[in-house]
Amino acid sequence: MATPESMDDRDGWIWLDGKLVPWRDARPHVLTHALHYGSGVFEGERIYGGRVFRLAAHSARLIRSARLVDMDLPWTRAQIDAATREVVRANGLQSGYVRPLAWRGSEVLGVSGLGTDIHLAIAPWAWGAYFSPEARLRGIRLTMATYRRPSPESAPGESKATGLYIICTLEKDRAIKAGFDDALMLDWKGRVSEATGANIFLVIDGKLVTPRPDNFLDGITRRAVMGLAQARGLTVEEREVWPDDLARASEVFLTGSASEITPVRELAGQHYQVGPVTPRLIDDFAKLVLRDDCEGFGESTHLADVELGKAA
């Protein structure tokens, strides 16, 4: 079996604080504040046909995530967009994944982040499906997570902040060790929220149902899928989803930049079919990501309203 290529030992380029640097040279110091206290925010983006899907929406969300954790990025959305395009071209990528990451530096080390500089790196690489092709075809298996998504009084869950993902890592690892592909997380009230890195949809009585984002990430792919479903004439309901709803669903699937649209065949002892709704949306999404306007805000108008005029 081939040894996986290490993420820090690759050919290519990373955009770091305003310039392209060789991949192996993009290194922060070990006393970086973010390494010790999780003071960073990030995005996950997909490259299709040499362009980043919903690039403007992702860059806007990065800026908003930073503001929610009291970080002001010294780059505008337009500058982040341009830097992303530059580094994707420099690496010659037609398809793959992009990871923008902003973090507090090593100028100060302590619980307080005051006095630290804000850094930004954008790293793209060739990357296939998040789940195996077989799993995506047949559907993946989910277990129920032990940890829950925090309440708004506990953490800024609308921010894609690095520190908030420790419970996701723990639950993802626990699921894999138990023979599952991922875990479904409830929120602090016991409502269905999301998987460890993706939003969830259920088909119930012919309607597409998804949890209302309540202190968890309102995914950009999630928004795109809602638009595709409505274009097909499907009724889309954003509402409170409870564990009892899982038994009423005929289909379940996840959405996210990494997972794209991935059907679920098993969840908490319930078994689901992989069609007919999910495959149609997968086909629609495959066409959407190659459209000429794929880099813009698209259905993520909530992000456009928040950030345009502030970060353009």
- Residue given tokens 């081939």 in the structure block: 2
Q: Exposed (0-12), middle (13-18) or buried (19+): which is 60, by Cβ within 10 Å? A: buried
Q: Is 310 a catalytic residue?
A: no
In angstroms, the CA 232 to CA 33 distance is 47
Q: Given 160, 172, 177, 287, which residue is catalytic? A: 160
CB atoms inside a 10 Å sphere around CB 253: 28
User: Could you give the maximum distance between any two Cα atoms of the chain, in Å?
Assistant: 56
Tokens of residue 98, six digits: 């992009």
Query: β-pairing, 95-104 with 260-267?
Result: unpaired
Residue type, position 97, single letter: Y
In angstroms, the CA 224 to CA 230 distance is 10
In angstroms, the CA 310 to CA 296 distance is 17
Rg (CA), the chain: 19
**What is the total residue count of the chain?**
312
Local structure of residue 116 (DSSP, 8 states): P
Tokens of residue 190, six digits: 């016991």
What residues are annotated to the active site? 160
